[in-house]
């Protein structure tokens, strides 16, 4: 989007907002965005922890499978 288009859109949205009755306008308290940012950071950390846990489990499963395949190959090679 070109800057002029963004500015026009912003002006249009501001006018729509200002046209709302006073009770319908949502004024954000000063700490609202700080709270939202903190909430988003906590969720991001939670998601990353879950992804790390999932990756560790997958790695353990892969290690087990490699070990089993190695055992099969050794048994096959020794003729057992």
pLDDT tens column, 50-80: 999 999 999 999 999 999 999 999 999 888 6
Phi and psi at 60, nearest 5°, equal -60, -45
Half-sphere exposure of 8 (CA within 13 A, CB side): 5
pLDDT band at 1 (very low <50, low <70, confident <90, very high): very low
pLDDT of residue 70: 95
79: left (phi over 0), alpha (psi -120 to 50) or beta: left
Whether the CB-CB separation of 40 and 32 falls below 8 Å is answered with no
Q: Which class for 44: exposed (0-12), middle (13-18), buried (19 or more C-beta within 10 A)?
A: exposed
């Amino acid at each position: 989007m070109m800057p002029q288009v963004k500015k026009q859109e912003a002006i249009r949205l501001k006018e729509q907002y200002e046209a709302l009755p006073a009770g319908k306008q949502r004024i954000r308290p000063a700490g609202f965005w700080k709270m939202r940012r903190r909430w988003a950071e906590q969720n991001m950390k939670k998601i990353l922890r879950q992804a790390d846990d999932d990756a560790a489990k997958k790695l353990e499963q892969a290690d087990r499978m490699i070990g089993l395949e190695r055992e099969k190959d050794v048994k096959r090679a020794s003729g057992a």
